Amino acid sequence: MGYLWLVIALPLAGAVTLLLFGKRIGEPGAGTLASSLVGAAFLIALVGSYDFITGSGHAEVVSGFAWIPGLGIELALLWDPLSSMMTLVVTGVGALIHVYAIGYMHGDPRYGRFFTYLNLFIASMLILVLGESFGVLFIGWELVGLSSYLLISFWFEKPSAAAAGKKAFVVNRIGDFGFLIALMVIFAEVGSLSYGTVFEEAAEVMTTGTATLVTLLLLVGAAGKSAQLPLYVWLPDAMEGPTPVSALIHAATMVTAGVYMVARTGALFELAPFSAGTVATVGAVTALYAATIAIGQRDIKRVLAYSTISQLGYMFMGVGAAAYVAGMFHLVTHAFFKALLFLGAGSVIHAMSGEQDMWKMGGLRRLMPTTFATMVIAWLAISGIPPLSGFFSKDEILAVTFDKGGWFVVLWVVGIATAALTAFYMTRLMLLTFWGEPRWDEGVAPHESPRVMTAPLIALGALAAVGGFLNTPFRLGRLGAGLEHFLEPAFEAVEQAHLPAAGTQWLLALVSVAAAVAGIWYGWRRYVERELPAEEGGVWDSLLAGYRVDDLYGRALVLPGKKLSEAAAFTADMKVVDGAVNGVGALVTRLAAWLRPIQNGLARSYGVGILAGAVALVVWLLASGGGS
């Protein structure tokens, strides 16, 4: 499997090439090159996954070179079903989005640079998912953060874009703070950061307390990267980036890294039930919370951003409930339909000359048929309408959660409520965008996007439609449980949650479909009218502002932090610390000035000095030597 390195090397090479020669290669060469490299990586990954698909493969560690010998970190890759699945998603969806971007970024002055960053991101993400140790995972973890920063603030002339990029990186760093400490604890306990060693020895060396500590710290990291409460605030702002970026990084791949990490470290979470429960709870609460905010958004991308946060909450709920397969399943389907939604939204924005406010759209369905059609698939998929992909994956998470009983039943209720809200806000989005009368600004002439953009839409539409059959919960023989079997080797060491009995499953599915239908129905009723509801004031304003959490953070953390920093810099440091230093200097000078009058110019007083010294010396010597 040595050729696995190629999967990372190809996009990395693309990034380096484009960094150096991007401008010379120009448009569309840069995009084509980048896309084909990612596509090639996908093909290689596909070849590598073949054995897993047939069920005959087994996990393999592809060793590289010792990176930080003292910490035992080797740059090694782990090729197992979990990483291969992630690789396929990243390269597959990534390639489609690359292709889309060829059209979307048309005419941008930094066209080549954009694909540099995109390729860099793909490479980073692959390092993240393919790494065989926490160390390598962390490299990828930080590098995707970097790519995300670069891409969010790609249009850095816009101060809001620059600020958003910085915010994303900093908030992620806060999560990384937890992650980093987790790594310290793991290393202190086990003496290695390699997955194999850690998972093997964790059960022996870690007490439940330590395991809980480690996993909670990991959760902090995951919550940062996957935009969960309370660290989600960067993701809505990240929509400042170009839309392909939102689709690739902030919907399909990077933000799911947290989910991936929890799944990957299942062996640790298994030792710490409390942490697992916390993960699920955080996920459920985030899911509901973000869904409510999504309802109030006017910016099409911000709806999708909050939707992403909400959907990631589902995934957390799943992996927290030890339903790793279900969590990963939702990750895959979500990658399909959310990427599709973003790309569709991008297509709309492209068509609307950059307009993102849904209140200024409307009636686009005839003008943009392809976009519209694919968006409908995604809409229904995310709402959980069978047999589209979202239904199966979401339903599996909910069913497994329900089956765990106890507290998890409460989470299930939250999940159902979220499902209803999801259906509602997606319906709102669709109706505001595609139905009704045009509310366009003047001079806007919507048109369908070029082929290079619609082709990925179609591909993703197909995936979103049928993706659910990767793993139907109803276990229709071997075919239906494909993903579960595929992933089985990756999770055989950990105890997984079970699906409830078939009867219960049907019942639960019915409830969730009912919730979805209810949401769609209410949304349809509300927005299909010519006269749109006002949606202003009171609750709506609060929702639009995301419960003003940004303000709150600003007032509670950023502002005091700045005040503290200013106090430290301009009072503590300049006045106190440096003041003390200069004070010593001033003291010496003062002493000197104070001593100067002794030298008064009077010879007689100098004589007094001599005589006094003489008397003192005589007395001293008499006292010490004259006695005996």
Partner 1 sequence: MTVTAGWYMALAASLFTIGAAGLLLRRNALVMFMSIELMLNSVNLTFVAAGRELGVLEGQLSVLFVMVVAAAEVTVGLAIIVAVFRNRATASVDELTGLRG
Partner 2 sequence: MQDIAFLPIGPEIVLLGAALAVLMVAVTLDLGHRMWAAISFTALALAILLSWAQWIRVDDVGPQLNYGGEGVRTASMVVMDHFSALAGIVVFVVAALALLGAWPLVESLERRGAEFVALALLSIAGLHTMAAANNLILLFIGLETASISLYVIAGIVREQPNSDEAAMKYFLLGSFASAIFLYGVALVFAGTGATSIYGGGVEDFVNGNLLNLLVNGREGVLMAGIALLVVGLGFKVSAAPFHQWAPDVYQGAAGGAVGLMAAGAKVAGFAAIARVLAGAFPLAVDIWAPSVAAVAALSVVLGTALAIAQSDLKRMLAYSGVAHAGFMLTALVGAKAGVPAMWFYLSTYAFQLLGAFTIAAAVSGPRTGASALDEYRGLAARSPVLAATMGVMMLSLAGLPFTAGFVGKVGVFAAAVEAGFLWLAVVGLVTAVAGLFFYIRVIVLMYFQQPVLAEGPGTATAAPEPSDHQRIVLGVAVAVSIGFGLVPWPLLNLVQHALPL
Partner 3 sequence: MEFPALALLVLLPAGGAGIVALIPERRRDLILPVTVGLTMLPLAVALWILWEFEVGNGAFQLTERVLWFEPLGISWNVGVDGISLLLVVLTAVLFPISILASTSITKNVKMYMVSMLILETGLLGVFVALDLLLFFVFFEVTLIPMYLLIGIWGSENRVYAAVKFVLYTALGSALMLAAIIWLAVVAGPQLGGTTFDFTRLLDAELSSGAQLWLFLAFGAAFAIKVPLFPFHTWLPDAHTEAPTAGSVLLAGVLLKLGTYGFVRFNLTLFPDASVRLAPWIAAIAVVGIVYGAVVAIVQPDVKRLVAYSSVSHLGFIVLGTFALTTQGIQGGVIQMVNHGLTTGGLFLLVGMIYDRRHTREIADYGGLARVMPLYAGFFLFTAFASAGLPGLNGFIGEFKVLLGSYLSLPVHAVVAAFGVVLAAVYLLWAYERVFTGPVTKEENEKLVDLNAREISILVPIAALIVFLGVYPRPALDRIEPSVDVILERIEAQTDYDVPRFGTTAEIDLAAEGD
**What phi-psi label fits residue 72: left (phi over 0), alpha (psi between -120 and 50 degrees) or beta?**
left
Please, which residue, 254 or 351, has the CB nearer to partner 3?
Answer: 254
- Assign 616 to helix, strand or coil: helix
Query: Using CB under 8 A as the criterion, what x/- string covers residues 578-617 for binding partner 2?
Result: -------x--xx-xxx-xx-xx-x-x-xxx-xx-xxx--x
Q: How many CB atoms lie within 10 A of CB 84?
A: 28
Segment near partner 1 (CB under 8 A); pick from 89-97, 427-435, 506-514, 595-603:
595-603
For residue 609, the partner it binds in partner 3, partner 2, partner 1, none, with Cβ less than 5 to 8 A by kind, is partner 2
| Residues 475-534 close enough to bind partner 2 by CB under 8 A | none
157 lies in the site for partner 3, by CB under 8 A: yes
The Cα–Cα gap between 422 and 431 comes to 14
For residue 622, the partner it binds in partner 1, partner 2, partner 3, none, with Cβ less than 5 to 8 A by kind, is partner 2
Give the distance from CA 203 to its chain's centroid: 29
Please, which residue, 501 or 618, has the CB nearer to partner 1?
Answer: 618
- Minimum Å distance from CB 625 to partner 1? 19
Which one of residues 173, 298, 439, 485 is an interface residue with partner 3 (CB under 8 A)? 173
387 lies in the site for partner 1, by CB under 8 A: no
Amino acid (one-letter) located at 369:
P
Which one of residues 534, 581, 602, 623 is an interface residue with partner 1 (CB under 8 A)? 602
- Minimum Å distance from CB 605 to partner 1? 8
552 lies in the site for partner 2, by CB under 8 A: no
The Cα–Cα gap between 22 and 353 comes to 26
| Residues 546-565 close enough to bind partner 3 by CB under 8 A | 561-562, 564-565
Please, which residue, 537 or 585, has the CB nearer to partner 2?
Answer: 585
| Residues 129-188 close enough to bind partner 2 by CB under 8 A | none
Name beta bridge partners: 68: 73
- Minimum Å distance from CB 583 to partner 2? 14
Q: For 543, how many CA atoms within 13 A lie in the half-sphere containing its CB?
A: 20
**Total residues in contact with partner 3, by rule CB under 8 A:** 63
- Minimum Å distance from CB 179 to partner 3? 10
- Minimum Å distance from CB 112 to partner 3? 12
Which one of residues 1, 20, 47, 184 is an interface residue with partner 3 (CB under 8 A)? 184
The Cα–Cα gap between 208 and 202 comes to 10
Helix (H) or strand (E) holding 321: none
Amino acid (one-letter) located at 439:
R
209 lies in the site for partner 3, by CB under 8 A: yes
The answer to whether 382 and 461 have CB atoms below 8 angstroms apart is no
68 lies in the site for partner 1, by CB under 8 A: no
Please, which residue, 45 or 139, has the CB nearer to partner 3?
Answer: 139
The Cα–Cα gap between 15 and 30 comes to 10
Q: How many CB atoms lie within 10 A of CB 605?
A: 11
Short-list 468, 467, 464, 513, CA closest to 342: 464
Query: Using CB under 8 A as the criterion, what x/- string covers residues 112-151 for binding partner 3?
Result: -----------------------x--xx-xxx--x--x--
Segment near partner 3 (CB under 8 A); pick from 175-183, 298-306, 397-405, 532-540:
175-183
Segment near partner 3 (CB under 8 A); pick from 172-180, 352-360, 589-597, 608-616:
172-180
The Cα–Cα gap between 260 and 83 comes to 9
589 lies in the site for partner 3, by CB under 8 A: no
Please, which residue, 68 or 409, has the CB nearer to partner 3?
Answer: 68
621 lies in the site for partner 2, by CB under 8 A: yes
Please, which residue, 8 or 382, has the CB nearer to partner 3?
Answer: 8
The answer to whether 91 and 49 have CB atoms below 8 angstroms apart is no
**Token match 């932090």: residue?**
561
Pair of tokens at residue 504:
């219960």
Short-list 56, 79, 115, 72, CA closest to 2: 79
What DSSP character marks residue 597?
G
3-class DSSP string for 186-202: HHHHHCCCEHHHHHHHH
Please, which residue, 530 or 596, has the CB nearer to partner 1?
Answer: 596
Segment near partner 3 (CB under 8 A); pick from 38-46, 163-171, 276-284, 548-556:
163-171
Residue 28 sits at φ, ψ, to 5 deg, of -95, 10
The Cα–Cα gap between 324 and 133 comes to 19
For residue 625, the partner it binds in partner 1, partner 2, partner 3, none, with Cβ less than 5 to 8 A by kind, is partner 2
Angle separating helix axes 389-404 and 300-320, nearest 10 degrees: 40
354 lies in the site for partner 1, by CB under 8 A: no
3-class DSSP string for 256-288: HHHHHHHHHCHHHHHHCHHHHHHHHHHHHHHHH
The Cα–Cα gap between 352 and 534 comes to 23
Which one of residues 559, 611, 621, 622 is an interface residue with partner 1 (CB under 8 A)? 611
- Minimum Å distance from CB 561 to partner 1? 52
Segment near partner 3 (CB under 8 A); pick from 161-169, 239-247, 548-556, 603-611:
161-169
The Cα–Cα gap between 302 and 236 comes to 6
Helix (H) or strand (E) holding 68: strand 66-68
What are the CA-CA distances from residue 459 to residues 229, 390, 406, 465 (Å)?
33, 16, 41, 10
**Total residues in contact with partner 1, by rule CB under 8 A:** 10
205 lies in the site for partner 3, by CB under 8 A: yes
> For binding to partner 3 (CB under 8 A), which residues are involved?
65-71, 135, 138-139, 141-143, 146, 149, 153, 156-159, 161-163, 166, 169-170, 173-174, 176-177, 180-181, 183-185, 187-191, 205-207, 209-210, 212-213, 216, 561-562, 564-566, 568-570, 572-573, 577-578, 580-581, 585
